Amino acid sequence: MKSERKVTRRQALQIAAGATAVQLFDTWCGELNLQDYEDFALPAVQEIIAGLGGSVPVIYYTKASQHLLSGVARSGANVLSVDWRVDLAEIRKILGPKIALQGNVDPAVLFGPHEKIREVTLGAINSLSGHGHILNLGHGILQHTPVENAQLFIETGQQAMLHHARPAVLVR
């Protein structure tokens, strides 16, 4: 069985078990140049996403992939999740409003002072004015991150979104 079919089956099982969205992680794609990404990685990602048949939104995380955005945008994902190295507003200008973005606070910020955590979190939210954006870290939470700082990140995002609440719209 090809790895694409195995991943698609695993995602389908998660959906059958009640998942209302799934996420694909491609943390090494940034090591490829655009041509190699389009020739080798993108077809596999497209096959996985197509295999899910649009039953739930698909979030596609790519790391260090700014140079691949034109290809990544053709993945078929509903949401592109990006790391902290890219400017969300710039990506929005490049990709337009048809695809939602997730991210992209640097996880190392959570080791900083509370005021810096608030500033960076609000900066990420404000960069897209809450339109088509899921606030998240630009990669996983780092080991030894103070729990209270992670809580502050979450609470800051929740409070900001309550002040700017808009109904969610599924982007297809």
Q: What is the pLDDT of residues 35-67, one digit of tens each?
A: 999 999 999 999 999 999 999 999 999 999 999
Q: Is residue 97 part of a domain?
A: no
Burial (CB count <10 Å: 0-12, 13-18, 19+), residue 34: middle
Question: Are 70 and 112 found together in one domain?
Answer: no
Q: Which domain holds residue 118?
A: 103-172
Above 80 in pLDDT, residue 165? no
Instruction: Report the distance separating Cα 11 and Cα 23, nearest Å.
Output: 9
Query: Which burial class, exposed, middle or buried, applies to 105 when counting CB atoms under 10 A from its CB (0-12, 13-18, 19+)?
Result: buried
Do 130 and 67 fall within a single domain?
no
The verdict on 73 and 145 lying in the same domain is: no
Tell me: do 59 and 119 sit in the same domain: no
Would you place residue 162 in the very low, low, confident or very high pLDDT band (cuts 50, 70, 90)? confident
Question: Residue 8 pLDDT more than 90?
Answer: yes
Distances (CA, A) of 25 to 60, 119, 172: 6, 27, 20
pTM over 0.85: yes
In terms of domains, do 116 and 66 share one?
no
Asked, for residue 98, whether it belongs to a domain, the answer is no
Domain count, the chain: 2
User: What is the distance, to the nearest Å, from the Cα of residue 58 to the centroid of all Cα atoms in its chain?
Assistant: 10
Shared domain check, 70 and 36? yes
User: Do 60 and 115 have their domain in common?
Assistant: no
- Please check whether residue 83 lies inside any domain of the structure: no
Two structure tokens written together for 115: 């005021």
Domain boundary among 43, 77, 111: 77
First and final CA of the chain: distance in angstroms? 29
Where are the strands (E) in the chain, listed by range?
A: 22-26, 58-62, 79-82, 100-105, 133-137
Q: Give the Cβ contact number of residue 24 at 10 Å.
A: 19
What Rg do the C-alpha atoms of the chain give, in angstroms?
Answer: 16
